[in-house]
């Protein structure tokens, strides 16, 4: 019996995804046309004998989440349930708290995946790898290669080249340790709960001894990376499966556009029907473009590369959209130009307007470069980044909105550059 | 009658346009700047125009020969080999100017206005003194030299350069008419007419001011070139509205050469001049611009307050604003944003210019 757990976090996590996260929970944000975690679910649905997917997080149950769950269950014919933590329990605390649910039915192994990774999810390969390495109860971590400098931003894995055992693991080191990084996708067995249980005990003891200066610290809040894997390294239990497939984190809105590009590109192999093609009487398509069937796109528009057009969107005559995500219900009026931007739900962009951001893509000449998690300000100035329009924003005709973030429900009346507009 | 036009040198303030042709030949509202002035002079009875130049241009010589034929007048070039200031060139052309006893006009080549040459002649003959300066009212007089004169007679008392407190709001408009005797005051050496000649003439009661009616602009730099264009087009609307282009998709004052082509779903104007053989593709929005001969603006672009140089090409979905100037034969690639970009001739731009810069 095989299961999968997707850690979806909660509203206090993922604040770098604002203002988009004001209107939709980050795990449901559409990347390459479908909700972020649907990519995880699709990968799970392809694994035979995977019986159940559990979402663990601390969002309050809401309509969007429930609707997504029920439609996903129907579409992928696998049981999907949401288990709500009573508070943020960390990447290990959550699965420990719900261990009975995970083990119910005789689970032999289960995947654990972070919701905010963008990946080709080589789950079958991880299963086969697990059979060949360590004992039947070993744990497998998915790893990939980063460049030396950027590896410091991730969990670093030192592996035994022959056995692929994890010899050493450290989260975000300050000096170089290894260029193999943790992808946030694991294959675990029920034995993990022993280790987490031990860590829980230890936490409780520590907290009763020390004075608790931080009122938020709970013994049940346990992190897989720092608290479990670091200790497990070199004990013959933890192994790393390296992938060369695409991988990226989705921390900020800018990285959502980069992740969209990776997924849209993968559609050429996995879901070619999702990619739009230039045809007579239709818009000009360059590169990989997703257009929802309910969108209305004028034939004189030019879209792509790397564009996702959501449900009910209207694209007017002579519009140019490139490297952007246009969310549900938005209207982009005639002759306007949208580059490197995310246009929020139900927003309106006036005629001849220019909405432009600056991409923060990784260096294309370095195959192992990853997207930087940009800081919002540098030297007191707003770093040029993707332009984001929150939901229901109105951009008048003929203006330029450059490298700016506009919060929801705002009606602009002039051009803006390099600003956050409240 | 004769006129001397102070053309001067390289016209560096109107670069990058003047890197390709001499400033007097730059088209202002579809006619070379110099021709606006010469045609007005001819209409007032001038038969001989002298161009005071400090750098000789073959292009200018050739063009002036053609205009001589066309207008039936004589055009001479007076070439100062070393800088002579604002009065020296008059001394250099002394022989040409004194072979008759009639008064002669002097004008600064950057000035555009409703040229009042007939009125100037009448006013000058009426007061009978040596010189008349045309003055114009401005909003910010302390940026210029102001003229203080008696309102009734026009007799000038004095000049004040860039006054700190309000003295007068009338400034020297760069149009003069002089009696040939006045040339005795100027020697052939670098001399400033405002600093050395006029103050003496004023003291002697020989200098009078005539107030200009209507618009006035010194179009020697791109920002003022565009402002002057708006004023000129407005005056066309009052005098010859049939010259302006109207119809669906046209707003306000728009001047279009017949050989230009304009596509569908464009919105052009207000205050746009489109030169010969220009092609504007579909869905373009242009406001407050001059598009010079042979240029092409590709579809869906948006231009405001720009000068597009001869034979340039602006790509699709380009946005240009804030007095961006393209020199001759510049290519701007698709989807770029140019904000106050000044682009030198024969350059291809493939990156946006988000803040005002010069692109070489």
Identify the helix (H) or strand (E) that includes residue A130.
Answer: helix A123-132
**Chain A environment of B337 (Cβ under 8 Å):** 354, 356, 400, 402
Candidates A352, A353, A403, A415, partner chain B, best to mutate (most B CBs within 10 A): A352
Q: What is the pLDDT of residue A69?
A: 94
The answer to whether the CB of A273 falls within 8 A of the CB of A289 is no
Residues of chain B contacting residue A351, judged by C-beta atoms under 8 Å apart: 285
Q: Which of B282, B300, B337 sits opposite A356 (nearest CB)?
A: B337
Q: What phi and psi values does residue A129 have, to the nearest 5 degrees?
A: -60, -40
HSE (side-chain half, CA atoms, 13 Å) at B198: 26
β-pair partners for B262: B280
Report pLDDT digits (tens) over B71-108: 999 999 999 988 888 899 999 999 999 888 899 999 99
Residues 6+ apart with CB under 8 A from A53: A3, A4, A5, A6, A41, A44, A78, A79, A80, A81
Segment A320-366, tens digit of pLDDT: 999 999 999 999 999 999 999 999 999 999 999 999 999 888 887 88
Q: What is the mean pLDDT of residues A92-102?
A: 93
Neighbours of A107 (CB within 10 A): 18
Q: How far apart are CA B322 and CA B341, in angstroms?
A: 8
Reading the block at residue B25, the tokens are 């030949």
pLDDT-derived band at A124 (thresholds 50, 70, 90) equals very high
Percentage of chain A lying above the pLDDT 70 cut: 97
Helices (H), A252-364: 253-270
pLDDT band at residue A220, thresholds of 50, 70 and 90?
confident
Contacts of A398 in chain B (CB under 8 A): 285, 302, 304
Tokens of A147: 């460049």
**Max CA separation in chain A (angstroms):** 74
Cα(A32)–Cα(A260) distance, integer angstroms: 5
Q: Which residues pair with B132 in a beta bridge?
A: B177, B208
CB-closest option in B285, B317, B354 to A402: B354
Checking if the pLDDT of B162 tops 90, the result is no
pLDDT of residue A363: 81
Model confidence at A252: pLDDT above 90: no
SS3 state at A405: strand
Q: Would the pLDDT of A215 be above 60? A: no
Is B170 known to be catalytic?
A: no
Q: Do A318 and B282 touch (CB under 8 A)?
A: yes
Tell which wins on pLDDT, B307 or B13: B307
Give the residue ranges of DSSP H helices in A15-62: 36-45
Res. A218: pLDDT tops 80: no
Tens digit of each residue's pLDDT (9 = 90 or more) over B15-27: 999 999 999 999 9
Q: What is the mean pLDDT of chain A?
A: 91
A307 contacts in chain B (CB < 8 Å) = none
pLDDT of A112 reads 96
| Both tokens assigned to B42 | 């001819």
Q: Residue B78's Cα: distance from chain center in Å? A: 20
Q: Between chains, do B354 and A322 touch, taking CB under 8 Å as contact?
A: no
pLDDT for A236: 86
Kindly indicate the confidence band of residue A409, based on its pLDDT and cuts at 50, 70 and 90: very high
3-state secondary structure A244-264: CCCEEECCCHHHHHHHHHHHH
pLDDT-derived band at A214, boundaries 50, 70, 90: low
Confidence of residue A62 (pLDDT cuts 50, 70, 90): confident
Angle between helices A36-45 and A63-76 (to 10 degrees): 30
- The answer to whether the Cβ–Cβ distance between B302 and A334 falls below 8 Å is no
d(CA A167, CA A161): 10
Distances (CA, A) of B48 to A47, A139, B39, B74: 94, 99, 12, 5
Tokens of B26: 């730059």
Burial B44-62 (b: 16+ CB within 10 A, else e): bebebbbbbbbeebeebee
Answer whether the bond into residue B187 is a cis peptide, omega within 30°: no
Confidence of residue A213 (pLDDT cuts 50, 70, 90): low
As a whole number of angstroms, the distance between CA A56 and CA A52 comes to: 13
Identify whether the C-beta of residue A358 lies closer than 8 Å to the C-beta of residue A385. Answer: yes
Q: How near does any CA of chain B get to the CA of A278, in Å?
A: 19
The predicted model gives A358-384 an average pLDDT of 80
Question: Would you call A335 and B283 a contact, using CB atoms and an 8 Å cutoff?
Answer: yes
Length of chain B in terms of residues written: 360
Q: A353 to chain B, minimum CA–CA distance in Å? A: 9
Name the residue with higher pLDDT: A205 or A376: A205
Distances (CA, A) of A50 to A44, B127, B217: 7, 106, 80
Task: Please say whether the dihedral angle defined by the alpha carbons of residues A248, A249, A255 and A261, taken in this order, is positive or negative.
Answer: positive
Angle at B42 between CA B39 and CA B44, to 5 degrees: 115
State how far the alpha carbon of B1 is from the alpha carbons of B47, B95, B191, in Å: 6, 14, 25
Q: Do B335 and A402 touch (CB under 8 A)?
A: no
Could you give the CA distance from residue A76 to residue A46 in angstroms, rounded to a whole number?
A: 9
Give me the count of residues in chain A: 422
Is the four-CA dihedral A132, A134, A136, A141 of positive or negative sign?
A: negative
Q: For residue B349, what are the CA distances in angstroms to A354, B322, B344?
A: 19, 17, 10
pLDDT of res. A211: 61
Note every long-range contact of B291-295, with CB atoms under 8 Å and residues 24 or more positions apart, other chains counting. Answer: B292/B27, B293/B27
Burial class (CB in 10 A: 0-12, 13-18, 19+), A109: buried
Least confident of A136-145, A196-205, A209-218, B329-338: A209-218
ipTM over 0.85: no
- What's the mean pLDDT in B45-62? 91
Q: At what angle do helices A90-97 and A192-209 cross, to 10 degrees?
A: 110
DSSP labels for B192-251?
-IIIIIHHHHHHTT-EEEEEPPS-EEE-SSHHHHHHHHHHHHHHHHHH-GGGS--STTB-
Cis ω on the peptide bond leading into residue A62 (within 30° of 0)? no
Chain centre to alpha carbon of residue A86:
23
Test B283 with A317 for CB contact under 8 angstroms: yes
Which residue has 């997080």 as its token pair? A57
What residues contact residue A250 under an 8 Å CB cut-off, 6+ apart?
Answer: A17, A26, A31, A36, A116, A117, A118, A256, A259
Nearest to A32 by CA among A337, A246, A348: A246
The model's pLDDT over A22-34, given as tens digits with 9 standing for 90+, comes to: 888 999 999 999 9
Render B241-310 in DSSP notation, one character per residue: GGGS--STTB-SSEEE-TT-EE-TT-EE-SSEEE-TT-EE-TT-EEESEEE-TT-EE-TT-EEESEEEPT
In Å, how far is B358's CA from the nearest CA of chain A? 20
A-side interface with B, Cβ within 8 Å? Answer: 317-320, 322, 334-335, 337, 339, 351-352, 354, 356, 398, 400, 402, 417
pLDDT value, residue A366: 83
Contact A352 B302 (CB under 8 A): yes
pLDDT band per the 50, 70, 90 thresholds, residue B311? very high
Q: Which residues of A touch B321 (CB under 8 A)?
A: 400
Query: SS3 of A411, please?
Result: strand
Closest among B16, B5, B6 to B292, alpha carbons compared: B16
Q: How far is B283 from chain A (nearest CA, A)?
A: 6
Question: Which residues share a beta bridge with A249?
Answer: A117
Q: What is the DSSP letter of A383?
A: P
Among candidate residues B31, B43, B125, B162, the one labeled active-site is B162
Q: Is the pLDDT of residue B164 over 70?
A: yes
Q: Of A335, A385, A399, A417, which to mutate for an interface test with B (greatest number of B Cβ within 10 Å)? A: A335
Residue A134 has pLDDT above 70, yes or no: yes
Angstroms from A417 CA to nearest CA on chain B: 9
pLDDT more than 70, % of chain B:
100
User: What three-state secondary structure class fits B57?
Assistant: coil
């Amino acid at each position: 019996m095989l299961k999968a757990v997707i850690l979806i976090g909660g509203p206090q996590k993922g604040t770098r995804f604002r203002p988009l996260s004001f209107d939709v929970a980050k795990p449901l944000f559409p990347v390459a046309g479908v909700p972020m975690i649907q990519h995880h679910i699709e990968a799970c649905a392809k694994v035979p004998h995977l019986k159940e997917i559990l979402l663990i997080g601390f969002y309050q149950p809401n309509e969007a989440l429930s609707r997504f769950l029920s439609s996903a269950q129907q579409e992928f014919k696998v049981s999907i349930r949401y288990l709500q933590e009573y508070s943020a329990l960390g990447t290990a605390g959550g699965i420990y708290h719900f261990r009975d649910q995970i083990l119910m039915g005789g689970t032999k192994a289960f995947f654990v995946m972070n919701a905010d990774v963008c990946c080709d999810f080589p789950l079958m390969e991880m299963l086969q790898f697990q059979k060949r390495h360590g004992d039947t109860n070993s744990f497998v971590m998915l790893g990939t290669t980063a460049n030396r400098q950027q590896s410091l931003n991730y969990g670093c894995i030192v592996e035994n080249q022959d056995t692929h055992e994890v010899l050493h693991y450290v989260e975000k080191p300050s000096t170089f340790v290894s260029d193999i990084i943790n992808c946030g996708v694991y294959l675990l067995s029920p034995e993990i709960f022993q280790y987490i249980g031990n860590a829980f005990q230890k936490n409780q003891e520590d907290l009763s001894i020390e004075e608790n200066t931080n009122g938020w610290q709970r013994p049940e809040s346990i992190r897989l990376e720092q608290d479990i894997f670091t200790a497990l390294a070199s004990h013959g239990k933890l192994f790393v499966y390296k992938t060369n497939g695409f991988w990226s984190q989705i921390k900020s809105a800018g990285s959502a556009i980069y992740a969209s590009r990776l997924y849209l590109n993968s559609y050429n192999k996995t879901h070619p029907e999702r990619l739009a093609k230039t045809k007579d009487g239709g818009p000009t398509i360059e590169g990989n473009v997703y257009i929802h069937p309910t969108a209305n796109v004028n034939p004189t528009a030019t879209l792509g590369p790397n564009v996702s057009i959501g449900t009910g969107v209207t694209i007017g005559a002579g519009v140019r959209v490139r490297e952007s995500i246009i969310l549900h219900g938005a209207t982009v009026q005639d002759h306007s130009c949208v580059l490197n931007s995310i246009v929020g739900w139900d927003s309106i962009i006036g005629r001849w307007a220019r909405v432009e951001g600056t991409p923060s893509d990784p260096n294309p000449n370095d195959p192992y470069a990853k997207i930087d998690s940009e800081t919002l300000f540098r030297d007191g100035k707003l770093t040029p980044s993707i332009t984001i329009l929150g939901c229901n924003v109105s951009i008048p005709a003929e203006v330029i909105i450059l490298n700016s973030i506009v919060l929801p429900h705002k009606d602009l009346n002039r051009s803006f550059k390099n600003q956050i507009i409240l | 009658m004769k006129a001397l036009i102070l053309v001067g040198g390289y016209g560096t303030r109107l670069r990058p346009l003047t890197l390709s042709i001499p400033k007097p030949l730059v088209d202002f509202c579809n006619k070379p700047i110099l021709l606006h002035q010469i045609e007005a002079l001819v209409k007032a009875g001038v038969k001989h125009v002298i161009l005071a130049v400090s750098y000789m241009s073959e292009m200018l010589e050739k063009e002036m020969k053609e205009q001589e034929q066309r207008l039936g007048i004589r055009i001479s070039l007076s070439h100062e080999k070393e800088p002579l200031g604002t009065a020296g060139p008059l001394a250099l052309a002394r022989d040409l100017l004194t072979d008759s006893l009639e008064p002669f006009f002097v004008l600064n080549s950057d000035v555009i206005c409703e040229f009042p040459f007939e009125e100037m002649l009448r006013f000058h003959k009426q007061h009978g003194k040596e010189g008349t300066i045309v003055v114009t009212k401005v909003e910010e007089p302390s940026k210029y030299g102001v003229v203080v004169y008696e309102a009734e007679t026009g007799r000038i008392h004095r000049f004040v350069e860039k006054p700190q407190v309000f003295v007068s709001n009338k400034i020297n408009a760069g149009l003069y008419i002089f009696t040939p005797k006045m040339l005795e005051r100027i020697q052939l050496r670098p001399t400033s007419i405002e600093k050395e000649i006029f103050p003496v003439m004023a003291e002697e009661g020989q200098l009078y001011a005539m107030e200009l009616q209507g618009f006035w602009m010194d179009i020697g730099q791109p920002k003022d070139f565009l402002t002057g264009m708006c004023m000129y087009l407005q005056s066309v609307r009052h005098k010859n509205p049939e010259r302006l282009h109207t119809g669906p998709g046209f707003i306000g004052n728009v001047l279009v050469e017949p050989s230009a082509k304009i596509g569908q779903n464009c919105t052009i104007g207000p205050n746009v001049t489109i030169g010969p053989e220009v092609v504007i593709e579909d869905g373009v929005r242009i406001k407050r611009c001059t598009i010079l001969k042979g240029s092409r603006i590709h579809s869906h672009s948006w231009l405001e307050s720009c000068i597009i140089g001869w034979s340039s090409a602006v790509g699709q979905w380009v946005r240009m604003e804030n007095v961006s100037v393209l020199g001759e034969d510049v290519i701007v690639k698709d989807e770029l944003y140019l904000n106050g970009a000044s682009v030198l001739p024969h350059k291809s731009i493939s990156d946006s210019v988000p803040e005002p810069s010069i692109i070489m």
